[in-house]
Structure 1
Amino acid sequence: MNVLKEYVVQQGRKRDPLVRVLAYCMMGNHYHLLLEEIREGGITQFMRKLGTGYASYFNKKHSRTGVLFQSRFRNILVDDERYLQYLLVYINVLNPIGIIEQNWKEEGIQNIEEALAFAESYQFSSHQDYLGKRGSLILDKGILTELLPTPDAYANLVKSVLEEKKYRAIEHLTLE
């Protein structure tokens, strides 16, 4: 067991979690998290701890001081099953696809097979975890386990969103 995995397992036993991390994606200049709140105020507490902890680490590592993030985190309440599924695909797949198809929002995905292959190779999202190709230490699929019980169910959802251009129907609900 590697050191990070051992630490996460040990800390997990000691802590009372604030949220479930349902999905994540780290991009070059931002990140997305899909969180399920476990305790009241948990998302706010979690994001504060994440921001403060990372800023402290980064500042110490790079011998600097001051704020690291431009602004406070932004969030949207997800109260619709379709929207939840869309956000999962948006975070895991559509964000990374933006690296190879910058105009996907305006023009749609030009090459779905190439886009799917790129998303599957992208290491910095939970897409591989939902495909059953990797097991994340921080991911807890929570309520998404009922909606997408198998990797095939998830893969079918992703393909249908890309093929049917469902992302256009509710893209106004994202924070970008």
Structure 2
Amino acid sequence: MLALGLATISMPFWGGGRGAWLVFLSACLIAVLGFFWFAPFILARGLSHRPDIFWSSLNMISQNPWLGLGIGADYRVVTAYFPGGVDHSHNVFTHAAIELGIPGLILWAGLWLAAFRVAWGARQSREGCILLSSLLVSCVAQQFDAASLWESPRAEWFVTWLPIGLAIALAVQRGRTEKRVVSPRA
């Protein structure tokens, strides 16, 4: 819900202008009022031990910082509340670092930054707005529950790879358009 809310609130900024600020401030006000109105329902589950899982994941990364455990390695993130461990780190970036090490994390973050760069360059187009919004939803959602990058497709897999695929498609489309503009047919 947080990811969808942030994407919705931020969408007016992709086009810019005073109207964007008005929509943004109105959406923020509605979100704050909605939070206070529904706070007992929102906070009923607490943080689901995500901070503990995050710190334990960082500890796992520090044990194998350069090579990680390997792609597709089975691992358990052990915390005080889960002595048997949970089967993934609940965060795509820590998951990448656990499996691929710091070099893999840097490459993974670079891929995401490249996708954001493509989306930002095309923010005036409908496709760029869609890509920016989907990247924002994916990035926020993956901070709290992402279990797989390489295994068979499931919901988290699509949230991870669909925006990357859209960024590649948009970059190719923009490259073809720029090529036509630079060298028109005679």
User: RCO (CA 8 Å, sep 6+): is it higher in 1 or 2?
Assistant: 1
Larger Rg: 2
TM-score relative to the length of structure 1 = 0.27
